[in-house]
């Protein structure tokens, strides 16, 4: 079975959020199951430094009434033989960021991702691909293009929705950029606007999203697209994302000050001490350290954190945040943490190294998302012995089970109501257990560390879905 996986982010070449981790790990896991899979993404600025590239092919792609040249370079996913095709058109992709600078998207986003989708179809045709697996709105145009007769008719499509909140919405007048006849445009119209994700939802052969709970939730509250999702509920499947334990493993993680495992937790205490030192927090093992690593977006529950921040601090915790995004949140964390530098600190930057270090050093990981399609950091936290405190929504509800002191079951703490009080309640229960019963806390950590959230099971599920469409393997 020949599959081309297309995404706007693939780690380590380009990463903004969880999509990048999935787009690197899932193809790798599929290849291990014998699927002939390749990956395609834009050739962004700086990719040369991260991959060995060889020229592969070149063709032209019509966008906005002009032929745009696409040069294809080939590399590999690190330490695998999975081919990665970098689709290059410098005016679109040789830029400082993936999606945009200063908060918003680049103004020519529609053209950029029309180019990417059309180039992916052309490449897939050239490679004799049987199934195109596309991701989020940026490539949701692919099944629409195939339906319109671009590329071989028998080519099948899977569209994975990683986050329904981003739909690729543009003024209807901009549709001319697509260069599609009117009859093929109808599926792209929603609420008087052009909506790329809607087009993909209506035309892909199969739809997936990244957790079973989110798959159910979006049929009820689907950001305005629930009607179309319900119409296609028969081909919508929730498959939980996995973790790439070659990248996220405290036993081998090269970013840490000290490695550790469930059998020997000494290294975890060392990471906490070093992080406290480096960030000038009070160096102590008695105070629970709460970590957050996140895009600073409303989705992630920051309104709760802002409202409850003083009360969180009054619980007697330490707090470290790593994140960038909404300037409103950046400003808040800069300001409030500077007032109590020994207790709280904010790293307003994007840093792979600090992400790993915080996972290792923190005692508690806070993820109070308003909604969460899957979420990866709670899974990384489990492996790093960092007890997750989450809101029970989407993938968080599927992976974190509230600790029950009477039965000793559970792997973290969760709350349901989207209120600061509910979040504080869960955090307080975590902090109290940490203080009161270190043995129970340790057992909770170790139980999480022993869980297996690797890609194997989910990749097998994707393979079964592919087989439903294409047959054979």
Which is nearest to 40 in space by CA: 105, 113, 146? Answer: 113
Q: Which residue has the tokens 């995404």?
A: 7
Residues 345 to 374: which contact ligand ADP by CB under 6 A? Answer: 350-352, 355, 374
As a whole number of angstroms, the distance between CA 137 and CA 163 comes to 9
- Partners of residue 236 on adjacent β-strands: 207
CB of 247 to ligand ADP, least distance (A): 9
Handedness of CA 289, 294, 297, 301 (dihedral sign): negative
CB of 19 to ligand ADP, least distance (A): 6
CB of 415 to ligand ADP, least distance (A): 18
Angle (CA) 252 17 56, round 5°: 85
The alpha helices in 211-265, defined as continuous H runs, are 212-220, 226-231
168 binds ligand ADP (CB under 6 A): no
Bond from prior residue into 12 cis (ω within 30 degrees of 0): yes
Residues 7 to 66: which contact ligand ADP by CB under 6 A? Answer: 17-19, 21
Number of residues that bind ligand ADP (CB under 6 A): 18
Residues 295 to 314: which contact ligand ADP by CB under 6 A? Answer: 295
Please say which residue, 198 or 300, places its beta carbon nearer to ligand ADP.
Answer: 300
Please say which residue, 8 or 318, places its beta carbon nearer to ligand ADP.
Answer: 8
CB of 132 to ligand ADP, least distance (A): 22
> For residues 314 and 340, is the Cβ–Cβ distance under 8 A?
no
CB of 293 to ligand ADP, least distance (A): 5
Please say which residue, 41 or 376, places its beta carbon nearer to ligand ADP.
Answer: 376
Distance, first Cα to last Cα, the chain: 5
Please say which residue, 210 or 237, places its beta carbon nearer to ligand ADP.
Answer: 210
Q: Which residue is nearest to ligand ADP (CB)?
A: 18
CB atoms within 10 A of CB 167: 24
Among 376, 400, 426, 427, binds ligand ADP (CB under 6 A): 376
Residues 311 to 330: which contact ligand ADP by CB under 6 A? Answer: 322-324
Please say which residue, 63 or 322, places its beta carbon nearer to ligand ADP.
Answer: 322
**What is the three-class DSSP state of 192?**
coil
Locate 195 and state its tokens: 């909506």
> For residues 83 and 93, is the Cβ–Cβ distance under 8 A?
no
385 binds ligand ADP (CB under 6 A): no
CB of 470 to ligand ADP, least distance (A): 28
- Partners of residue 324 on adjacent β-strands: 295
Stretch that binds ligand ADP, among 106-114, 200-208, 303-311, 344-352 (CB under 6 A): 344-352
Stretch that binds ligand ADP, among 86-94, 260-268, 288-296, 441-449 (CB under 6 A): 288-296
CB of 313 to ligand ADP, least distance (A): 22
CB of 155 to ligand ADP, least distance (A): 28
293 binds ligand ADP (CB under 6 A): yes
As a whole number of angstroms, the distance between CA 87 and CA 69 comes to 10
255 binds ligand ADP (CB under 6 A): no
> For residues 473 and 465, is the Cβ–Cβ distance under 8 A?
no
Among 377, 381, 393, 399, binds ligand ADP (CB under 6 A): 377
CB of 216 to ligand ADP, least distance (A): 19
- Partners of residue 158 on adjacent β-strands: 133, 206
Alpha-carbon radius of gyration of the chain: 23
The set of long-range contacts for 302-309, using a CB threshold of 8 Å and a minimum separation of 24, is: 302/326, 302/329, 303/370, 304/368, 304/418, 304/419, 304/420, 304/423, 305/366, 305/368, 305/423, 306/332, 307/420, 308/420, 308/421, 308/423, 308/424, 309/336
Locate 163 and state its tokens: 């986050």
- Partners of residue 156 on adjacent β-strands: 131
Please say which residue, 320 or 376, places its beta carbon nearer to ligand ADP.
Answer: 376
Contact residues for ligand ADP, defined by CB under 6 A: 17-19, 21, 293-295, 322-324, 350-352, 355, 374-377
């Amino acid at each position: 079975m020949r599959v081309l996986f297309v995404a706007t982010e693939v780690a380590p070449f380009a990463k903004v959020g969880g999509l990048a981790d999935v787009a690197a790990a899932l193809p790798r896991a599929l290849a291990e199951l014998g699927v002939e899979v390749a990956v395609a993404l834009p050739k962004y600025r700086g990719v040369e430094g991260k991959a060995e590239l060889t020229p592969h092919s070149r063709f032209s792609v019509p966008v906005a009434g002009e032929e745009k040249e696409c040069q294809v370079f080939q590399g590999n996913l690190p330490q695998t033989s999975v081919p990665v095709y970098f689709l290059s058109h410098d005016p679109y992709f040789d830029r400082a960021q993936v999606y945009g600078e200063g908060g918003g998207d680049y103004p020519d986003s529609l053209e950029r991702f029309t180019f990417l989708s059309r180039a992916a179809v052309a490449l897939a045709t050239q490679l004799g691909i049987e199934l195109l697996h596309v991701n989020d709105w940026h490539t949701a145009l692919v099944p629409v293009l195939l339906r319109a007769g671009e590329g071989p008719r028998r080519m099948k499509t899977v569209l994975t929705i990683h986050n329904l909140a981003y739909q690729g919405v543009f003024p209807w007048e901009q549709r001319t950029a697509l260069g599609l006849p009117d009859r093929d445009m109808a599926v792209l119209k929603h609420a008087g606007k052009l909506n790329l994700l809607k087009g993909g939802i209506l035309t892909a052969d199969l739809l997936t999203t990244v957790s079973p709970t989110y798959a159910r939730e979006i049929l009820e509250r689907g950001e305005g697209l629930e009607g179309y999702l319900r119409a296609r509920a028969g081909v919508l499947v929730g498959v939980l994302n996995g973790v790439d334990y070659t990248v996220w493993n405290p036993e081998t993680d090269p970013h840490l000050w000290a490695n550790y495992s469930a059998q020997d937790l000494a290294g975890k205490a060392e990471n906490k001490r070093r992080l406290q030192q480096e960030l000038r927090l009070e160096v102590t093992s008695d105070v629970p350290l709460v970590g957050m690593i996140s895009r600073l977006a409303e989705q992630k529950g920051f309104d709760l954190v802002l409202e409850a921040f003083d009360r969180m601090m009054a619980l007697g915790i330490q707090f470290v945040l790593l994140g960038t995004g909404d300037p409103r949140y950046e400003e808040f964390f800069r300001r409030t943490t500077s007032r109590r530098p020994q207790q709280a600190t904010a790293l307003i930057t994007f840093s792979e190294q600090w992400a790993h270090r915080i996972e290792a050093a923190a005692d508690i990981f806070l993820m109070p998302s308003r909604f969460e399609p899957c979420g990866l950091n709670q899974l990384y936290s489990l492996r790093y012995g960092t007890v997750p405190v989450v809101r029970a929504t989407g993938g968080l509800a599927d992976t974190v089970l509230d600790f029950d002191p009477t039965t000793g079951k559970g792997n973290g703490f969760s709350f349901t109501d989207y209120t600061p009080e509910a979040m504080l309640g869960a955090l307080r229960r975590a902090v109290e257990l940490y203080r009161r019963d270190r043995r129970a806390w340790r057992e909770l950590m170790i139980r999480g560390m022993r869980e297996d959230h690797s890609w194997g099971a989910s990749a097998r599920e994707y393979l079964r879905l592919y087989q439903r469409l294409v047959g054979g393997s």
